Amino acid sequence: MNSGDIKDDEYYDDALSLASSIDTQYIEKIKELKRKRKAIILAHNYQRPEIQDLADLVGDSLDLSKKAQASDAKVVVFCGVQFMAESAAILSPEKTVLLPVKEAGCQLADMITVQELRKKKKENPKAVIVCYVNSSAEVKAESDICCTSANGIGVVNSLKENRILFVPDEHLGRYLESKTDKDFILWRGFCPAHYNLLPKDILKAKKEHPQAKVLVHPECRLSVIDLADEAFSTNGMLEYAKKSEAKEFIIGTEMGVVHRLKKENPGKNFYVPSENLICSSMKLITLKEVAESLEKMRYKIEIPEEVRKRAKKSLDRMLEV
């Protein structure tokens, strides 16, 4: 057989084995650098599978901020997006927090600036500002208390005030409004991945998998949440799937979480109802970026101390709840 006869499959197998040997080299390098730097690797549930498998801890926003604080590591490599790494740096100023790709931002967090928030605050002087953690350190510093999707209801119910200015996610705000007796003023921000999930996608998935439980993230539209069995943070979905008797689940959040769901629940099936459920920022981090981050100690999260202290008050108040 001459070289012209080599089948596509053989090229594909060669490419796969080359890629896996490169991955192994990066993983070895990361392990060595981690020891040298006394570092810990935290990964969000939306990260690429190989990053989740490599991480010391994988979790949702709330879980990761607590774990970053509790760890005695000197360096935290945060495989997630900017606001998550910032939360770790706000809570643990004695640690060096690295975000492997500096462009890994959050479009939702970018939908509000501190100047815009100050203006809105002036227009609503009696409202208490509840800020979703998907926001910048400056916006957190200007707020009264933070919340995540896991503790939003508890945070809102802990407030004695009735009027709430909720920033920046309109949809999480609407969901919390529907679950509490408070009066909400909503900012018009949204997460593009969750916003793109439509009721028709859920209806189609339910038709294809009639026995499946539907779990969605509270960043989804209320019309999508209304069609679901439950709305949870990503860790909430993982806990529910583990305990549930059900064998099939439709997962209405960024598809990266399906890696952990499958790994922790062999024998159960998970379906993603839309191919749009992807956060491109979360996928920017690769093994190569993590190795380079540890090698070059980049990109350090730096927050002015005055902003950090005020942002910490909002996060601490949330963690007390």
Nearest to 88 by CA among 47, 137, 51: 137
Q: Which amino acid is at 174?
A: R
Residues forming beta bridges with residue 145, ordered by sequence position: 130
As measured in angstroms, the least distance from the Cβ of 201 to ligand 13P is: 17
User: How close are the terminal C-alpha atoms of the chain, in Å?
Assistant: 70
132: which DSSP letter?
E
CA angle (181, 152, 260) in 5-degree steps: 140
Cβ nearer to ligand 13P, comparing 40 with 109: 109
Write out the two tokens for 155. Answer: 């945070």
Tell the smallest beta-carbon distance from residue 282 to ligand 13P (Å): 8
Residue partners of 37: CB distance under 8 A and separation at least 6: 74, 75, 294, 297
Which stretches of the chain bind ligand 13P, using CB under 6 A? Answer: 45, 60-61, 134, 148-150, 191, 217, 219, 233-234
Phi-psi region of 5 (alpha: psi -120 to 50; beta: other; left: phi over 0): alpha
Minimum CB–partner distance for residue 6 and ligand 13P (Å): 44
- Output the six-digit token pair for 311: 């942002």
Query: Residue 94 Cβ, how far from ligand 13P at the closest point, in Å?
Result: 24
Instruction: Tell me how far, at minimum, the Cβ of 109 lies from ligand 13P, in Å.
Output: 9
Q: Which two tokens stand for residue 1?
A: 């057989």
């996060």: which residue's tokens? 315
CB of 271 to ligand 13P, least distance (A): 19
CA separation for the pair 21, 26 (Å, rounded) = 9
To ligand 13P, the closest distance from the beta carbon of 115 in angstroms equals: 24
Nearer CB in complex with ligand 13P: 51/150: 150
For residues 311 and 129, what is the distance between their CA atoms, to the nearest angstrom? 13
- Give Cβ neighbours of residue 52 (< 8 Å, ≥ 6 apart): 43, 45, 58, 256, 259, 260
d(CA 233, CA 237): 6
